[in-house]
Amino acid sequence: MPSIGRLHVITDARPGRDVLSVVAAGLAVGADTIQVRVPDATTDREAYGLTREILRMCRESGATCLVNDRLHVALAAGADGGHVGADDLPVDVARKILGPHGILGATARDPESARRAVADGASYLGVGPAYATRTKDGLPDPIGPAGVAAVARSVTVPVIAIGGVTADRVGELTAAGAYGVAVVGAVSEAADPAKVTLELREALR
Ligand SMILES: Cc1ncc(COP(=O)(O)OP(=O)(O)O)c(N)n1
Ligand SMILES: Cc1ncsc1CCOP(=O)(O)O
Ligand SMILES: [Mg+2]
């Protein structure tokens, strides 16, 4: 049975990123969950192919493979689940599609939406943006560790903090009640993605 994991490396959907080499580097040093997140312009055919390759890498490493937004691709590829936010299928509908055993992440930034997402079938919550981030445009203001704590107090499912996460910030996020973290830029922008992933892994101990 795949686990939700504590160190989620999310593929960088920005142009010019070497996604597979970053995934390989992260898996080699302990990333326990990979989330496949692609540009909106990516075709389903391309998303499926990428997911199948990343799933193969995850199976070799014993890591969990999730797909962002496109649950049909997750199902078609045989991934372990998916992640939905405000612009994606509603959580209750996503749960119906994934079935009772799939891992379903949902984005939440306050206790009310967090409780609703869990009631609707979320297995874990992606909570943030915890800090400012350049990776995704149009986000609301960061909620900080205090905002993560408010959500973590309100639910019993794992909280994965996301948004501007770096190794030096992991301690305050786990102290706030986060079970784990999700990272894009700190790993994908690193000269040595494996080194940064290892630092994140160590910070989660
Ligand atoms: C672990 C995790 N948390 C939050 C998100 C954000 O998902 P969403 O709000 O659907 O935004 P997009 O990622 O689809 O742009 C996530 N992907 N993973
Ligand atoms: C997809 C998403 N949702 C909230 S923040 C974010 C991007 C996180 O990227 P980074 O780890 O580089 O801040
Ligand atoms: Mg989404």
DSSP state for residue 18 in the 8-state scheme = -
Ligand 2: which atom is nearest the Cα of residue 128? Answer: 4
> Residue 6: its pLDDT value, please?
98
Q: Which two tokens stand for residue 82?
A: 């998916």
Domain extents in the chain: 7-204
All residues at 6 or more sequence positions from 59 whose CB lies less than 8 Å from its CB, including other chains: 65
Percent of the chain at pLDDT exceeding 70: 100
For the cut 90, the answer to whether the pLDDT of residue 1 exceeds it is: no
- Mean pLDDT for the stretch of residues 150-177: 98
Ligand 1, from 37, 80, 83: best to mutate by most atoms within 8 Å of Cβ?
83
Of 18, 90, 28, 23, nearest to 51 by C-alpha is: 23
Q: Name every protein residue with a CB atom under 6 angstroms from any ligand 1 atom.
A: 8, 10, 35, 37, 68-69, 83-86, 88, 105, 107, 126, 136, 160, 162, 182
Ligand 1, from 107, 113, 131, 157: best to mutate by most atoms within 8 Å of Cβ?
107
How far is CA 82 from each of CA 73, 101, 205, rounded to the nearest angstrom? 9, 12, 25
| Structure confidence by residue, pLDDT tens digits, 81-133 | 999 999 999 999 999 999 999 999 999 999 999 999 999 999 999 999 999 99
| Structure confidence by residue, pLDDT tens digits, 36-62 | 999 999 999 999 999 999 999 999 999
Please name the fold of domain 7-204. Answer: TIM Barrel (3.20.20)
Of 117, 141, 118, nearest to 129 by C-alpha is: 141
ipTM above 0.90, yes or no: yes
Alpha-carbon distance 198 to 177, whole Å?
A: 21
- Mean pLDDT for the stretch of residues 143-158: 98
Percent of the chain at pLDDT exceeding 90: 99
Nearest CA to ligand 1 atom 9: 85
Ligand nearest to the CA of 67: 1
